Amino acid sequence: MNKRHFLSSTAAAVLALSAGATLAQDNTFKIGLILPMTGQQATTGRQIEAAARLYMAQNGDTVAGKKIQLIVKDDTSIPDMTKRLAQELVVNDKVNVLAGMGITPSALATAQIATQSKTPLVVMAAATSSITEASPYVVRTSFTLPQASVALADWAPKNGIKKVVTLVSDYGPGLDAEKFFTSRLQFNGGQVVEQLRVPLRSPDFAPFLQKVRDIKPDALFVFVPSGAGAAVMKQFLERGMDKAGIRLIGTGDVTDDDQLNDMGDGALGVVTSHHYSAAHPSAMNKKFVEAFQKANKNLRPNFMAVGGYDGMRVIYEALRVTKGNGGGDALLGAMKGQIFESPRGPIFIDAQTRDVVQNIYLRKVEKKDGQLYNVEFDVVKDVKDPGKTK
Ligand code: DHB
């Protein structure tokens, strides 16, 4: 037996032993937060960690007599690393909850660890529809791409956009966005004339954008993960696509609040659909944005931050309800069905699917007080993930 195989089978045995174990003997409650803190997805990790720490600063670090310990690990968004870290957190640190998951492959790689060890896995970022079906221990506080895409495909044909080219990152969430945007647009009488896919790692958008220019659709629909939007916007404008009469539309990942203000006035007028804008006009969101910026050198919270903040709420509430003495199954049960006000608006963790039900907003990039924001102009209320197969 080679060393690697030995280690993984030992880990599996320990996982089996610890399965069903209740809370760690001592008085701590451990949250293993695995995020990409370096590499291409680093902004996701930075936003979620900051939001989790803000939640703890605002709500205290003791719940039901347990001291909350947040253990943050950097998986550099390599799924094998996410899985290994999750295994170590469960076996060595005996975490009560796993959380984070910056990209879909990381969440999918970790699902099995959650199932085997009966540890709730709170997905705060990754957004492929099928993730919640990969383990009965997954609970999601981010969003899904089908959820975000459909509202835009309803809006577009009513606003002069009939012929569209789609451009998506070639992996789970991109394929979900492509599929649900395309079929809904077609249902509404529009047409997707070309579907382009770019690699997730180090994408070069230039050759794809050239192709779009030649096709000259009414609009280009884009999904790229958080952190890649600014590059798309820059190349879109450099190629004069807007001047050629092609509109840029997409899910709100492309006009990510983390980057939007640095995209320049060329971003003005871009319409997207999403679940969170830093400009969401609620009292709770105003307080959230202010506190987040104060604690983080004026960094503007994006949709990832909100997924992290609400994920912490779901964990705290589950611990409170189970009075600090429930194991993984009890915690999971107390996570299902939670309804509460988030900085994004009202949200609900569907007890059947363990996925988030939330409002999807149509937004347009506008200037407010000299800064670029996604300003909401319409809302589709209480949207369930349309991507669920059961
Ligand atoms: C995923 C990652 C993102 O950064 C995002 O904006 C949407 C989805 C993902 O990998 O699931």
| No. of helices (H) and no. of strands (E), the chain | 11, 15
d(CA 201, CA 95): 31
Residue 94 contacts residue 30 (beta carbons within 8 Å):
yes
Mean pLDDT of 249-272: 98
Q: Under a CB-based contact definition with an 8 Å cutoff, are residues 164 and 217 in contact?
A: yes
* Closest-CA residue to 197 (of 233, 168, 164): 168
Model confidence band, residue 59 (pLDDT cutoffs 50, 70, 90): very high
- Residue 389, pLDDT score: 67
Phi/psi-derived region of residue 191, left when phi > 0, alpha when psi is between -120 and 50, beta in every other case: beta
Tell whether ligand 1 has an atom less than 6 A from the beta carbon of residue 104. Answer: yes
pLDDT band at 22 (very low <50, low <70, confident <90, very high): very low
Output phi, psi for 63, to 5 deg.
-135, 130
What are the pLDDT digits (tens) for 187-203?
999 999 999 999 999 88
Binding site membership of 144 for ligand 1 (Cβ less than 6 Å) = no
Confidence of residue 24 (pLDDT cuts 50, 70, 90): very low
Q: What is the pLDDT of residues 321-351, one digit of tens each?
A: 999 999 999 999 999 999 999 999 999 999 9
Structure tokens at 212: 């779009």
Q: What local confidence, expressed as pLDDT, does residue 158 receive?
A: 98
Per the CB < 8 A criterion, the answer to whether 169 and 225 are in contact is yes
State the burial class of residue 39 (Cβ atoms within 10 Å of its Cβ: 0-12, 13-18, 19+): middle
Mean pLDDT, range 348-360, rounded to an integer? 98
CA of 226 to the centre of ligand 1 (A): 6
* Contact indicator for 361, 379 with CB cutoff of 8 Å: yes
Q: If we measure between CA atoms, which residue out of 34, 46, 101, 41 comes closest to residue 74?
A: 34
The per-residue DSSP string of 253-292 comes to TTT-TTTGGGS-GGGTT-EEEES--TT---HHHHHHHHHH
With contact defined as beta carbons under 8 Å apart, do 96 and 23 qualify?
yes
pLDDT at 26: 76
Mean pLDDT, residues 215-243: 97
Q: What is the pLDDT of residue 15?
A: 54
| Any ligand 1 atom below 6 A from CB of 225 | yes
CB 226 less than 6 A from any atom of ligand 1: yes
Token output for 287: 């307080």
- The yes-or-no verdict on residue 184 having pLDDT over 80 is yes
Question: Residue 13: how many CB atoms within 10 A of its CB?
Answer: 11
Helix axes 79-91, 104-117, angle to 10 degrees: 30
DSSP secondary structure letter of residue 361: E
- Ligand 1: distance of its center to the CA of 126 in Å? 5
Ligand 1 close to Cβ of residue 126 (< 6 A): yes
- Given this model, what pLDDT does residue 101 score? 98
